Structures are given as C-alpha cells and as structure tokens.
Amino acid sequence: MKLGDRVPLRVKRLQNPFGEMDVDSVSVDQFRKHQLAWDAIARKRENRELVTGRVLNAVNGGFAVGVSGHVGFLPKKLARDEKGRRLPQDRDATPPIGDAMQFRVLSMSEAGGARNFVVSGPEVETKRQSQPASNNSARPAFSAATTGSRKVRTWDGTK
C-alpha cells in the first residue's frame, strides 16, 4: 500500500467521544457476507420459518444463541429442552449448549449500529408430515348440507 491508494473502509461511528470519526478496514466482502446473513435471518422471520443456531452460553435472564455469525438472545422463560418441553425455572436448567437446533425469531432491531434479535425454542420438528397442497380444481368440490333431519350431499353445487 502506498500514499494515494484507495482502500475500502467502513464507517463505524461518525463521531466518537473524542469527536473523531471511527472507521474500520474490514474487508468489504466480509461486511457483505455479514449483511447477507442478517438479511436471511430477517427474511426467515417475515416468512415465519425456523433458523438454525446454537446455544452459546448462559447470560443474565436467558441464553446467548449464535445464528449465522450473529448473536441473539433466548429468554429463559422461552427456552425449551431438546424434546421441546419448557425448562424448569430453576437456576441450573439449561437447553443443550453447542448443539445445532431450530429456533423461531420473534423480534429483530437495529439501533446505533447494534443488531439484536430475540428467539424462542429450540423448536422440535414434529414427526407428522404436512399434506402437500393438492390441486382442488382437478377434484369436484364436495359439501354437506342439512335439510331438516336428512343430510344432503352436493357435488359442484348440484343436488
């Protein structure tokens, strides 16, 4: 690097307590990857999908959860064990630490350069598989109507 070279920088703060601008020479690619991961978490929250993460450690009032390089918060009262049961509210109860699990993102915020999110879980996948959506136009519509004491079945609105 020599005088006059252009270097990508990221502004961390416009003014620190000393009145100076704080910049970071973190590579732009790393910043973009971090931003893409945050956007993916936000999309999954909007679509009400689960995210994969790990419980990192206990913190005041709950647990720190790592998801795609971001650290979120799992409140103790929303924590569950590996079988999906609510944890007892004693001091020693913890969800499995270090195991990859599914969590639901409840809220996200960005304020002052800090990114925070709150999760619940871990969510346990049910063994029942949801039925795939069938094409209803290929099958005639069925409805049941009651007339007096007799049930009348109609197909496509005809009797």
Amino acid identity, position 89: Q
Quote the pLDDT of residue 91. 67
Q: What is the pLDDT of residues 18-57, one digit of tens each?
A: 989 888 776 667 778 888 999 999 999 999 999 999 999 9
Report d(CA 65, CA 107) in Å as an integer.
Answer: 14
**Is residue 107 pLDDT above 50, yes or no?**
yes
12 contacts 24 by C-beta, under 8 angstroms: yes
Q: Is the dihedral of CA 4, 10, 14, 15 positive or negative?
A: negative
Own/partner contacts of 11-18, CB < 8 Å, gap of 24 or more, are 12/113, 13/113
Quote the pLDDT of residue 159. 44
Homologous superfamily of domain range 25-123:
Nucleic acid-binding proteins (2.40.50.140)
Domain regions of the chain by residue span: 25-123
Q: Where are the alpha helices (DSSP H) in the chain?
A: 28-46
Report d(CA 145, CA 65) in Å as an integer.
Answer: 52
Percent of the chain with pLDDT over 90: 28
79 contacts 95 by C-beta, under 8 angstroms: yes
Quote the pLDDT of residue 48. 92
Computed over every residue of the chain, the mean pLDDT equals 77
- Give the predicted TM-score (pTM) of the model: 0.61
